[in-house]
Amino acid sequence: MRHFLLCLAATLAAALLSAPEGAAQQVVGFATNPQGTLGFSTGTAVAKVVTEKSGGIVGRVEPRGGSTAYIPIINRGEIEFGFANALELQYAFTGTGTFAGKVNQNIRLVGVMYPLRTGLAVVADAGVKTIHELHKLKGKRIASEFATLTIIATYIEGALANGNLSYNDFRKVPVSDFSKGMSALGEGTVDITLISVGAGDAQKVNAELRSRGGFRYVDLDDSPEPLARFNKVMPGAEIVRIEPSPALPGVHEPTRIVQIAYILLTHEKAADELVYRAAKALADNKADLVAALPVFNGFNRARMAPKHVVAYHPGALKFYREAGIAAP
């Protein structure tokens, strides 16, 4: 990751130095989750591609504690771009759920980056493979609160509900952010947490738990009643099956985990041309996104603009109309 960041810094410097004389370079921020998280890696990849392919925009990654902290900053127009999942954006815009009483009506969507996949995780030797076997760990420690990314607690609540469990069945251990919650499993301070599939933190936790077989994602249940309980807590999310891969620590056999759209957002006062060029740079350069971060294999140009309660920015809509991409 350090090497990648150094390369990105060199890319940004080269973009500034190689611009035609007199050409205006617009430096914009991309707010992300902390270093080590998939959100941070996503922002780094997006900033790199936008810098290289937009013809004048220079993206600067700005890691923050989490989207709970930076969505209001984007809403105020203090930073141009950021990332959040579809449910969190609904809550932020309407002032409900994890943003109860805190309406952020100035946020606007740019486009879906990829399907974000996460799962409940335990130590591999805990004797738990499925969500129903998680009952064996009642009374054990579970990561909670996630002050700067509170939607993570909702993810956990949804997964627990899938197994007819709740936070009240465990001992809650508050953590400050998503990265800390993942690290807590590797450090042995919690027994259950949520981990992003394919994240740098997932690699780190797996290595820390090597002597115990690494960590394991808990297999969820997609039969009707468990799925209904999950959907009540996590509307708009899905339960999908993933296959084992050397690139996916924690996936020991075919495992069902949580999936939801991960979306690039901006604010209503962002310049139309800025958002247009950013959306176009991303839509037209999937290969570069994948080269920067393999999770972008899930990027689908034709499905960048699904219907959502939050409106799309006019600059993004202009690009989608020109490109023939379906948009609300």
The residue behind tokens 């060199």 is: 10
Over residues 8-12, the mean pLDDT reads 45
Query: What was the pLDDT predicted at 24?
Result: 65
Q: Residue 10 pLDDT more than 80?
A: no
The answer to whether residues 258 and 163 touch, using CB atoms and an 8 Å cutoff, is no
Q: What angle do CA 50, 53, 55 make, to 5 degrees?
A: 100
Over residues 178-184, the mean pLDDT reads 96
Provide the β-strand partners of residue 258: 118, 239
Q: Is 213 left (phi over 0), alpha (psi -120 to 50) or beta?
A: left
Q: Residue 192 pLDDT more than 60?
A: yes
Q: Residue 56 pLDDT more than 80?
A: yes
Query: What's the chain's average pLDDT?
Result: 93
- pLDDT tens, position by position, 60-111: 999 998 999 999 999 999 999 999 999 999 999 999 999 999 999 999 999 9
Alpha carbon distance 98, 90 (integer Å): 10
8-state DSSP, 311 = P
All structural domains of the chain, each given as residue ranges with its CATH number in brackets, are: 2-116+261-323 (3.40.190.10), 117-260 (3.40.190.10)
The answer to whether residues 107 and 136 touch, using CB atoms and an 8 Å cutoff, is no
DSSP string covering 165-229: --GGGSEEEEESSHHHHHHHHHHTS-SBEEEETT-HHHHHHHHHTGGGT-EEEPBP--SHHHHHH
pLDDT band with cut points at 50, 70 and 90 for residue 15: very low
Query: What was the pLDDT predicted at 9?
Result: 44
Query: What was the pLDDT predicted at 280?
Result: 98
pLDDT band with cut points at 50, 70 and 90 for residue 12: very low
- pLDDT tens, position by position, 114-169: 999 999 999 999 999 999 999 999 999 999 999 999 999 999 999 999 999 999 99
pLDDT band with cut points at 50, 70 and 90 for residue 25: confident
Query: What was the pLDDT predicted at 268?
Result: 98
Alpha carbon distance 189, 191 (integer Å): 7
